[in-house]
Structure 1
Amino acid sequence: MTIDFNDIEEKIKPHFKGGEKEYRVRTYLDNENRIMRGVLKPGASIGYHKHELNSEVMYIISGKGHVLYDQGEEDVVAGQVTYCPKGHSHSLVNNGDEDLVFLGIVGEHHD
């Protein structure tokens, strides 16, 4: 199966999860996964939130950012992957001068 994000309507989510500015996202959704192509403009962020029933993998396509997680933080650049396991918290901030583009995959857990 191929997902073409160019065929999926872009949604604009202001202050997503309490973040700064807006999050632009194209989302494919089924019963098991949410697969997203996200864009954060410079200074935009996804607010700090907990993954209670799922986990998230974010692959940085272009740009650079800063990830906050549980009690840590680190910078990320294109080609790197972040992982937030079920039961943990994270945030993504575009602290660069260009768009931060990433692929996010949220997998549901059925315990």
Structure 2
Amino acid sequence: MIFDFDSEEYVSILNFKGGEGHFDAKMHDDGKCKIILGKVEPGCTSGLHTHERNAEVIYVISGAIALTYDDEEEICLSGQCHYCPEGHAHAMRNLSDSEPAIMFCVVPEHHLG
């Protein structure tokens, strides 16, 4: 199955997980896995949330994001990957004042059926 993200428009999600601003996404969700090309504009964040029944992998394509992972802060730069396993919490924010952070995210659901 091929997803052509270049031919899709971003959908803006306001206050994603209780965060500030918006998270822009090109998302495919079949109920078993979410595959997302995401964009976080300067000044935007996601809220802190726990992955109770899934995990998330975030690969930063461009820019840099700060992640609160459990009780620690991590910086994830272009070319790096953040992993939030099931049972852990994270939140993110764009570190730039002028450029969006672009990321590729995969959220597989662990508890189906």
Q: Which runs of 4+ in 1 moved over 4 A?
A: none
> Is residue 2:81 matched to residue 1:81?
yes
1:29-48 to 2 correspondences below 5 Å: 29-48=29-48
Structure 1's unaligned 5+ residue stretches are: none
Counterparts of 2:70 and 2:42, CA distance in 1: 23
SS of 1:17's partner is helix
Q: Report the counterpart of residue 109 of structure 1 in structure 2.
A: 110
SS of 2:55's partner is strand
Q: Report the counterpart of residue 67 of structure 2 in structure 1.
A: 67
Q: Structure 1 stretch 36-45 or stretch 2-11: which is displaced more?
A: 2-11
Q: Once the 2 structures are TM-superposed, how far is the Cα of residue 49 of structure 1 from its aligned partner?
A: 0.4
Q: What is the CA deviation profile of residues 31-57 of structure 1, one whole-angstrom value per residue up to 9, with x for unaligned ones? A: 321000010111111111011100000
TM-score (norm 1): 0.93
Structure 2's unaligned 5+ residue stretches are: none
Counterparts of 1:39 and 1:58, CA distance in 2: 12
Q: Report the counterpart of residue 93 of structure 1 in structure 2.
A: 93
Residues matched between the structures, number: 111
Structure ranking higher in strand proportion: 1
Q: Which amino acid aligns with 2:81?
A: V
Q: Once the 2 structures are TM-superposed, how far is the Cα of residue 11 of structure 1 from its aligned partner?
A: 1.0
Counterparts of 1:108 and 1:38, CA distance in 2: 19
Q: Which amino acid aligns with 1:21?
A: G
What is the percentage of aligned positions where both structures have the same residue? 39
